[in-house]
């Protein structure tokens, strides 16, 4: 069973992102404040859940939490400020859009920048320990998947509906064949470097 709160403060926000390791599409961040005493045995780290289960949980989370917000940071911004800064920026924007200002913030991972001088704690694998981070991870993942499914219609040759922009062999072959799009992160190594042997 995941824990409800780290700080024991009522307005504690959990935040997480999805899509950091992708070659295409946004990095998507979410922030969630749970209702006091909220419990769920179904919510877990989004990576531990099937796509179907995540889709089923999304409306439940949206209806039952105190507040939530989801933000996309586009590839141009990722290229401009780098993926770590873009992820943190997304989390800051999500926190900013919450209906209530949090008293404390718990963040999945080990990197974060102060947000409005609100105390925070970085928690490694936090999405497998705290309900609010797990809920944020599910929202970030489902909203990002939805975005990737939508742009798949525009560029079906990359099969983003299936690979969601991650560097699969199929995705890299499509980049090799068709080149990159406006949705690709140009600062990422889209194709592995060719090895040349000086014989």
41 is a domain residue: yes
In 10 A of CB 57, how many CB atoms? 21
Residue among 139, 137, 5, 117 nearest 60 (CA): 139
> Distance between CA atoms of 168 and 172, rounded to whole angstroms?
6
57 is a domain residue: yes
pLDDT in tens, the chain (199 residues): 799 899 989 899 999 999 999 999 999 999 999 998 888 888 988 888 999 999 999 999 999 999 999 999 999 999 999 999 999 999 999 999 999 999 999 999 999 999 999 999 999 999 999 999 999 999 999 999 999 999 999 999 999 999 999 999 999 999 999 999 999 999 998 987 644 444 4
Residue 193 is predicted with a pLDDT of 65
156 is a domain residue: yes
Residue 65 is predicted with a pLDDT of 95
For residue 135, how far is the Cα from the chain centroid? 11
Report how many domains make up the chain.
Answer: 1
CATH code where residue 133 lies:
3.30.420.10
Q: What domain range is 81 assigned to?
A: 12-178
Going from the C-alpha of 20 to that of each of 15, 27, 140, 141, 144, the distances in angstroms are 14, 6, 11, 11, 11
Residue 199 is predicted with a pLDDT of 43
Contact 130, 12 (CB under 8 A): no
Query: Apex CA 180: angle with CA 174 and CA 183, to 5°?
Result: 110
Residue among 118, 99, 117, 121 nearest 109 (CA): 121
Residue 40 is predicted with a pLDDT of 86
197 is a domain residue: no
155 is a domain residue: yes
12: left (phi over 0), alpha (psi -120 to 50) or beta: beta
Residue 44 is predicted with a pLDDT of 85
1 is a domain residue: no
């Amino acid at each position: 069973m995941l824990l409800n709160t780290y700080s024991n403060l009522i307005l504690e926000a959990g935040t997480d992102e999805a899509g950091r390791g992708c070659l295409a599409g946004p990095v998507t961040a979410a922030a969630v404040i749970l209702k006091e005493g909220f419990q769920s045995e179904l919510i877990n780290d989004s990576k531990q859940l099937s796509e179907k289960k995540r889709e089923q949980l999304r409306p439940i989370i949206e209806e039952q939490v105190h507040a939530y917000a989801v933000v996309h940071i586009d590839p141009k911004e990722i290229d401009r400020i780098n993926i770590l800064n873009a992820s943190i920026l997304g989390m800051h924007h999500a926190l900013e859009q919450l209906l209530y200002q949090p008293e404390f913030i718990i963040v999945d991972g080990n990197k974060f920048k102060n947000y409005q001088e609100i105390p925070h704690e970085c928690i490694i694998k936090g999405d497998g320990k705290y309900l609010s981070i797990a809920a944020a991870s599910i929202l970030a993942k489902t909203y990002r998947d939805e975005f990737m499914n939508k742009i798949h219609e525009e560029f079906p040759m990359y099969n983003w509906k299936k690979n969601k922009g991650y560097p699969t062999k199929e995705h890299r072959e499509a980049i090799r064949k068709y080149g990159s799009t406006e949705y690709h992160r140009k600062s990422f190594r889209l194709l592995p470097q060719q090895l040349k042997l000086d014989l």
